[in-house]
Amino acid sequence: MSAFTGRAGGFLFMVPRDIGLFLRSARTDASLAGLRARLGNKSAFDAIYQDGDPWASADPRYVYQRRKYEVIAGLLPQRRFVSALDLGCGTGLLARRLLGHADTVLGVDISAAAVARAELAHAGVQGLRFAQGDIADLPDTLDEKFDLLVLADSLYYLPPPLDDAILKSAASRMARLLRPGGICLLANHFFAGLDADSRLSRRIHQAFAWSPAMTLKAAHRRPFYLVSILEKI
């Protein structure tokens, strides 16, 4: 079986059939855009999760997403975290992987249907729980409750328009979730900066690097995503 390898040490990051994953993701994004226009944000996400895993994140036929989560987790600082928050957790695959780095993990998603699927898929896993919540409207009771925050492919699903002022405001809000010294891991799609999503990803990472509440500790580029590691001041 032929495979593609990334720049970082020749790790396998995708196989030819992963093209099907990207095509499915593109179809899901297109469907989501139409549903959001008709139903609103939360109901649109509930609708696409009703029939299963809309982005095929857990589909065993595909290597890319699983390998991406392995790499993302591997880029975290070599320390043990007490409590982690995965915002936009979907069906919970990355949240579960974070248990290798944190004592407890809370996965939050805007879709109650996604949360229900995550709870079913990971029932009985110690230290892992899920809750419905909107990244754009998080309660103050979550502030400074976490020493690790992960935002993987979630912020560009905030309601448009996503201008720089809104992105900077989002970065400031995310920083308040962390305790001083806490780590924020930000990961977003990036394909050579040529498409609209890649350009938005760059702006998201620039907004977080701008945040006066966080310091950029490391930036990584992998096929086909960007990762920023920031520390709460």
pTM confidence score: 0.93
The pLDDT, as a whole number, for residue 12 is 64
Spatial separation of the C-alpha atoms in residues 72 and 158, rounded to whole Å: 22
pLDDT at 1: 26
Q: What is the pLDDT of residue 11?
A: 54
C-alpha span between 85 and 106 (Å, rounded): 5
Interval 89-142: pLDDT, tens: 999 999 999 999 999 999 999 999 999 999 999 999 999 999 999 999 999 999
**Whole-number pLDDT of residue 194:** 78
**DSSP secondary structure string for all residues of 85-133:** EEET-TTSHHHHHHTTTEEEEEEEES-HHHHHHHHHHTTT-TTEEEEE-
Compute the distance between CA of residue 208 and CA of residue 174 in angstroms, rounded to an integer.
Answer: 9
Can you list the residues of the chain whose pLDDT is less than 70?
1-12
CATH architecture of 4-232: 3-Layer(aba) Sandwich (3.40)
Please give the C-alpha separations between residue 49 and each of 52, 173, 212, in angstroms, as whole numbers. 5, 27, 36
Give the per-residue pLDDT at 106. 98
Predicted pLDDT at 15: 87
Domain residue spans of the chain: 4-232
Q: What is the pLDDT of residue 51?
A: 87
Tell me what pLDDT residue 83 has: 98
The per-residue pLDDT for 72 is 96
pLDDT in the model for residue 10: 45
φ and ψ of 17, to 5 deg: -70, -10
Calculate the alpha carbon distances from 176 to 32, 149, 152, 183, 232 in Å: 29, 10, 18, 12, 9
